[in-house]
Structure 1
């Protein structure tokens, strides 16, 4: 009977039943079979509201939605061109940094492809880069900022880890730990871009001091956002939830009253869109915590660990399999759904192998980041196919070399934990 019900739940997920319903049904069935009062479900949903860090999610999300509604993308591209156009492969690093920074601010990789594609693709072609390379670069770069603060996936990972009460995971530690891996990915893609275009004569753009300072002045308010977040948190003046509220207020002021690109009449719609998205995340998170408690009561993590120990001798083999599973999940599931489903299962097992929970968070999000454009069903592949009006097969071919480069960086991030942990003193 249990196998039949499990099969039905899997089928329900595959045919498009909302993921929170599937998880809630699984938790309810699990508790029923264990003869545990189902009142535990609303109790778990309420318990998630006790998390102080949870308050950061809607505030950072609102800031991201407001920025995506403005002309932030145009200002970032202009500033990047003015500052870096003189470099060899200047447009490559411009595309990489602009996409990473925009994704960092908005929290959405698909949004980055849509918002920046119309600006960066013609600029890359005009600079002399081939169409296939340009499309592959933009599609791949769309998710680069997910490891940079205020990284919502890292915040969510931290919330789940804290709710499990088995690891001391600081959100600020996760923010710092993601910096070096994120910049390694950017540098690796830049290096590949230079090598791939080594036979193409790309004219350099002379540095124009006047244009640079004009572009810097236009974008100065948005450039201050990371300073507000990181400065407030690491100075000790603000905790993460405070920093999120200050950031949301700051972005609202600059976009509505300084740049005047988001009208006051537009604000209710933007807020509604934000809260619908955040509400979905919180609902999934709440039911996932209930399901996690069932798994713990049923000793599923212990059973999983015993099974893995019998078949996997050391943590390095475990990490290889973990990367494979997470890449597949990243292609099949939304990053938030993957986090709430897999972290409760993976975290206890990983810690039993001596893997630092902060390092695991970086590995998890880095895999999800690459999963966004992993064939055959990576979400960014379809977004880029729609945005650039190209077949999905063309997108596969265009992104595979970039994916190979990032997989090498992922290998380094996975097996050299110092890359993630040395900045936090571990």
Structure 2
């Protein structure tokens, strides 16, 4: 976060204006345009049907589609001189030396043709007169068609320029993420040496990217193939983006960001470098200096353009996640569970079960971790869970639901692989979800200090039922909007429509949340101790002691901001996350292209006789890919390289993608990168992570590193079961 002094001068002021206002406004407009594009086909279809009901006339055969443009008066002659035209046509035929090759038309044939043309002309005039009479009888049709065709024009423009919208969005968002040092790394830069190494790496990475996109643009211009204006604009936007990022990095080298603490060392400084900068340097140096392929990075950036619809949907999901943060939904839901005074492990399991659905509806694991990670972390901690355990739960909160309908990742897999369908993947994904969630409960209870705890039902149930009442309006909003789409727009909520419908639902929920009259904030329980960063227990011990700072409490009046401010805040957060996540995904695709270019899969043995060995190699490969790449980039790479080889060895496509998905998720919680842990740290803050480490310094190895060990203890057995149980079933003939 920038402090007030930074905002008042230099690049700090420019950064504040750019990130808080310019980029937020532009990205908000583009997100709304994307919503219009997504709903445009549904709405336009309904407008056409409504136009037909209002202005169509089955008795006269007049349809609204005939009236979408002003009828043009025919110019043909309804009373021509047929005899003269026949004679003229016969003379033309006689003078045509090639007429004999196709057969010379007789005079009667020519006359018949001209009479038919005369009849068509008469019918055109009749239709024109009928259309004009119909319009005059229904003058509002002109107003209606203006609305309908104007909407169609906007929808058509948006549909034809999806790629352009995406690149503009990435440009503004990536510049914002760079100005705020918001890119994803193993740790945040804090010391002077951290920022020095960070900025040098950013300068090298962005410089190589700039050189690559310029080289690609020159190659396209010199190819002799005409370049569409839209593509030229996209090339210029890429060059502008990476050129600007290079200049920002250069400025930060000259005038570095102020450190937040003293000390530091070179080894830790390298951990502060954003992952995308490492990817840019590795692929840039390899393509440019070792493969003589300087335009390589720029070419693989084209994958973003090719899959622009998917990445725009991802941006909408990120926005939905940030809007979710502006509501009290998660906190109110947890109010239903709090009266039961459950043990931390049981409560966490229920939270993860509940989190699976919004994880699926927000598209990918990382988005939900960012959106709700802080709330989940604090709730597990408040219930008495260890900070390390709470961090582990936060990292896992986005992993269990990625196999459920309508997760966007499954849609990408099905679109790239014709051997599988979304229905098949979602069906077996449910089994994977049940397995991983059950394993989490069993392992959590095994390492729990208190195995089971629950309040008496006669005390907890009434409180829980009362807590359900504030949640009910959100459920009603969801159902009403779903019914509107289902009946008014003939569209159901599924994996294809969720990216459009979820932001709309959450916008309405945010509006409701900000307009409703909340109860007065409750008085703090006990006394807040700023040194211990917690409440001290009340003297009578009558109430549980919350462990959250009052300023973070959802009941605090400072958090009750108006709708406009909430929309601005959520959009600003969305800008930062789009800039960080999409650039990381773009460079992941570049890494995938690099691995494909060096023909990594050629090293895969071609004569393996054991299917078990093939599955073992796939498990290792999928976990490795998940450790270094984001899910969407990994799916693109695996679909093009590994999947065809696996199918050839007899691995069932559904089984293969189940291994891939669980392997990716295992990779996202496996050091040294562990993307979900990085996002969990972004959600809860570096101070909480440091406090979690300090809290367990005196404990055993497991508890000191529980946030790393617990997800691995859940995901590794799940990986092994999913990989080998179907193999043994097939081996023993238990299913075909």
Q: TM-score, normalised by structure 1?
A: 0.70
CA pair 396-285 structure 1, distance change in 2 beyond 3 A: closer
- Quick check: 1:387 aligned with 2:688? yes
1:124 maps to 2:384: yes
C-alpha RMSD of matched pairs (Å)? 4.7
Question: Which residue does 2:125 correspond to in 1?
Answer: none
- In structure 1, the residue matched to 2:643 is 347
Which range moves more in the overlay, 17-26 or 362-371? 17-26
Give 1:257 deviation, angstroms: 2.9
1:136–1:398 Cα contact (<8 Å) kept: yes
TM-aligned CA distance change 1:172 to 1:61, over 3 Å: farther
CA apart distance, 1:240: 3.5
Deviation of 1:19 after TM superposition, in Å, equals 6.7
SS in 2 for 1:73: helix
Find the counterpart in structure 1 of residue 453 from structure 2. Answer: 202
Q: Of the two structures, which has the highest relative contact order with CA contacts closer than 8 Å and spacing of 6 or more?
A: 1
Of the structure 1 ranges 403-412 and 319-328, higher mean CA displacement relative to structure 2 is found in 319-328
Task: Between 36-45 and 241-250, report the one with greater CA deviation.
Answer: 36-45
- The 3 A distance-change label for structure 1 pair 375 and 280 is closer
- 1:18 aligned partner: 277
Does 2:716 align with 1:407? yes
Which moves more between the two structures, 352-361 or 403-412?
352-361
Say if 1:309 and 1:210 are closer, same or farther in 2 by CA, change over 3 A: same
Shift of residue 74 of structure 1? 0.9
Which residue in 2 is equivalent to 1:47?
A: 306
Cα deviations by residue, 1:95-133 (Å, 9 ceiling, x for unpaired): 4324445544553335543221112212134xxxx6765
Question: 1:253, CA displacement in angstroms?
Answer: 0.7
Out of 264, 271, 278, the position equivalent to 2:571 is 271
2:532 corresponding residue in structure 1:
none
CA distance in 2, matches of 1:396, 1:88: 18
Pair 1:94-2:350 in alignment = yes
**1:319–1:78: structure 2 CA closer, same or farther, 3 Å change rule?**
farther
Q: Give a deviation string over 1:68-110, Cα, whole Å, max 9, x none.
A: 232232123223445x767996424334324445544553335
The Cα shift of 1:252 comes to 0.9
Higher helix share: 1
**Which position in structure 2 is the counterpart of 1:4?**
none
**Deviates further, 16-25 or 253-262:** 16-25
Distance 1:337 1:44 in 2: 9
> Secondary structure of the residue that 2:457 maps to in structure 1?
coil
**Number of the residue aligned with 1:378:** 674
Structure 2 match to 1:75? 332
- The alpha carbon displacement at 1:158 in A equals 4.3
- The Cα shift of 1:144 comes to 2.8
1:211 matched to which residue of 2? 463
Aligned-partner SS, 2:418:
coil
Tell me the distance in 2 between the aligned counterparts of 1:93 and 1:376.
26
The alpha carbon displacement at 1:33 in A equals 5.3
**Are the counterparts in 2 of residues 99 and 141 from structure 1 also a CA contact under 8 Å?**
yes
The match for 1:322 is 618
Q: What aligned pairs does 1:16-415 form with structure 2 within 5 A after superposition?
A: 16=274, 17-18=276-277, 21=280, 25=284, 46-49=305-308, 51=309, 53-81=310-338, 90-101=346-357, 103-106=359-362, 107-125=367-385, 136-137=392-393, 139-141=395-397, 143-159=399-415, 162=416, 167-197=418-448, 200=451, 202-206=453-457, 208-220=460-472, 237=492, 240-258=495-513, 260=515, 263-274=563-574, 277-278=577-578, 300=599, 303-304=602-603, 307-310=604-607, 312-381=608-677, 383=681, 386-388=687-689, 389-391=691-693, 394-397=703-706, 399-401=708-710, 403-415=712-724
Q: Which moved more, 1:369-378 or 1:386-395?
A: 386-395
Deviation at 1:349, TM superposition (A): 2.2
Contact 2:588 2:629 in 1 (8 A): no
Displacement of 1:352 after TM fit? 2.1
- Unmatched runs of 5 consecutive residues or more in structure 2: 1-203, 210-269, 516-559, 695-700, 728-735
- Are the equivalent residues in 2 in contact too, given 1:319–1:414 (CA < 8 A)? yes
Taking the aligned partners of 1:154 and 1:258, their CA distance within structure 2 comes to 32
Unaligned runs of 5+ in 1: 1-7, 419-425
Q: Report deviation, 1:411.
A: 1.5
Aligned mates of 1:345, 1:324 — CA distance in 2: 15
Q: In 2 relative to 1, CA 216–179 (structure 1 residues): closer, same or farther, beyond 3 Å?
A: farther
Aligned to 1:422: none
Q: Report the Cα distance in structure 1 between the residues aligned to 2:503 and 2:496, rounded to whole angstroms.
A: 11
Q: Larger Cα Rg: Structure 1 or Structure 2?
A: 2
Q: How many positions carry a matched residue from both structures?
A: 391
Contact 1:314 1:353 in 2 (8 A): no
State whether residues 381 and 396 of structure 1, in contact with CA within 8 Å, keep that contact through their aligned partners in structure 2.
no
Q: Indicate the SS of the match to 2:692.
A: coil
Q: What is the alpha-carbon distance in structure 2 between the residues aligned to residue 270 and residue 136 of structure 1?
A: 26
Q: Distance in 1 between matches of 2:285 and 2:583?
A: 15
